[in-house]
Amino acid sequence: MIIDLPSTTTSQVNRKLVELRERGGAVALGRVLTLVIVDDDGEHLEEHIDAANEASREHPCRVIVVARGSRTAAARVDAQIRVGGDAGASEVVILRLYGPLVSHGQSVVIPLLLSDTPIVTWWPGSGPKAPAQDPLGEIAQRRITDSAAERSPVRALTTRRKSYVEGDTDLAWTRLTNWRAQLVAALDLPPHEKVTAATVTGEAESPSTELLAGWLAEYLDVPVKRVKSTTAQGIQSVVLERRSGPVELTRPDGKVGKLTQPGQPARRIALHRRNTKDCLIEELRRLDPDEVYEAALHGLDKFTAGANGKSGDGKKSPAKKSAKAAVS
């Protein structure tokens, strides 16, 4: 069911939600969080709502979409409520803001938040440089950005490292979960030798490749080289050097990986590039600070880059943990 409320107010939207709950008996009940989606371009709005709907099947929530329109138009809020089959296991409230209201999204969203539930704010496109300082980020316990969606992904990631606050995270980090799990599992197999160096190869503007290199530099505390490839999409390969020979995890086609190491047969591994829906579902499973992501951000200035890249300044972060403990 889709209900349009043109030129409306938050009070009218709330009354309509209460009316729907009384009529259907299920809307807005049993929700575990409020997910606020900030969409400025509108071009991929339906894709973002579909991802939230899929995530809501595992995490029932109220989804509030803030779509910013023209700043020069008259002040107006056009709302749309989606429930039932059009909203997955959630209820979706789309707020299209115009005129001066474009700069006051927080004031429009607050009356529609579910009481006594965590708030997650997600910027699926271009996000703020400092998410925790954004008005819609200030009200959230968890703030999700996506550096890969920025015009300059690596630069955006570096900027957010400087403004990091507990509760910040990035889907570029979530896309690494399978890579990190496979590398840690490989190091659990004999021979149990110390890694002496590592090389990470991937697309030049891949923030996930940068984070993977930072994670290895932070937790292994060995020299890590980040090589920029002109042919790869995302991460292409990781090589961990050990005395008996290297551990190599490669993914040339973006779908299937190959793991090779001394004394073990080569293995083919499903290592497809994760979509936004899967990453969002994973991020909503935890609302506490992601200390491993924070450590990976610290590691961004601890690896060296290839001929076309820049070198880190060699700073050390105070945290030290084992690579095995780093997988979350």
3-state helix/strand/coil string of the chain: CEEEECCCCHHHHHHHHHHHHHHHCCCCCCCCEEEEEEECCCCCHHHHHHHHHHHHCCCCEEEEEEEECCCCCCCEEEEEEECHHHCCCCEEEEEEEEHHHHHCHHHHHHHHCCCCCCEEEECCCCCCCCHHHCHHHHCCCEEEECHHHCCCHHHHHHHHHHCCCCCEEEHHHHCCHHHHHHHHHHHCCCCCCCCCEEEEEEECCCHHHHHHHHHHHHHHCCCEEEEEECCCCCEEEEEEECCCCCEEEECCCCCEEEEEECCEEEEEEECCCCCHHHHHHHHCCCCCCCHHHHHHHHHHHCCEECCCCCCCCCCCCCCCCCHHHHCC
What average pLDDT does the segment 255-273 reach? 92
What average pLDDT does the segment 12-36 reach? 81
**What is the pLDDT at residue 159?**
95
What average pLDDT does the segment 78-89 reach? 87
pLDDT above 80: residue 139: yes
* Most confident listed range (89-98, 213-222, 248-257): 213-222
What average pLDDT does the segment 98-103 reach? 93
What is the percent of the chain with per-residue pLDDT over 70, rounded to a whole number?
A: 91
What average pLDDT does the segment 162-171 reach? 97
pLDDT above 50: residue 285: yes
Domain locations in the chain? 2-173, 177-326
- Beta-bridged to residue 226, according to DSSP, are 200, 305
**What is the pLDDT at residue 189?**
85
What average pLDDT does the segment 95-109 reach? 95
Lowest mean pLDDT among 27-36, 37-46, 127-136, 262-271: 27-36
Region 177-326: CATH code = 3.30.360
pLDDT above 50: residue 283: yes
Residue 318: φ, ψ to 5°:
-70, -25
On average, the pLDDT of the chain sits at 89
Please report which confidence band the pLDDT of residue 317 belongs to, taking 50, 70 and 90 as the band edges.
Answer: very low
**What is the pLDDT at residue 300?**
96
Lowest mean pLDDT among 37-46, 288-297, 306-315: 306-315
Strands 247-250 and 256-261: antiparallel
Please report which confidence band the pLDDT of residue 190 belongs to, taking 50, 70 and 90 as the band edges.
Answer: confident
pLDDT above 50: residue 318: no
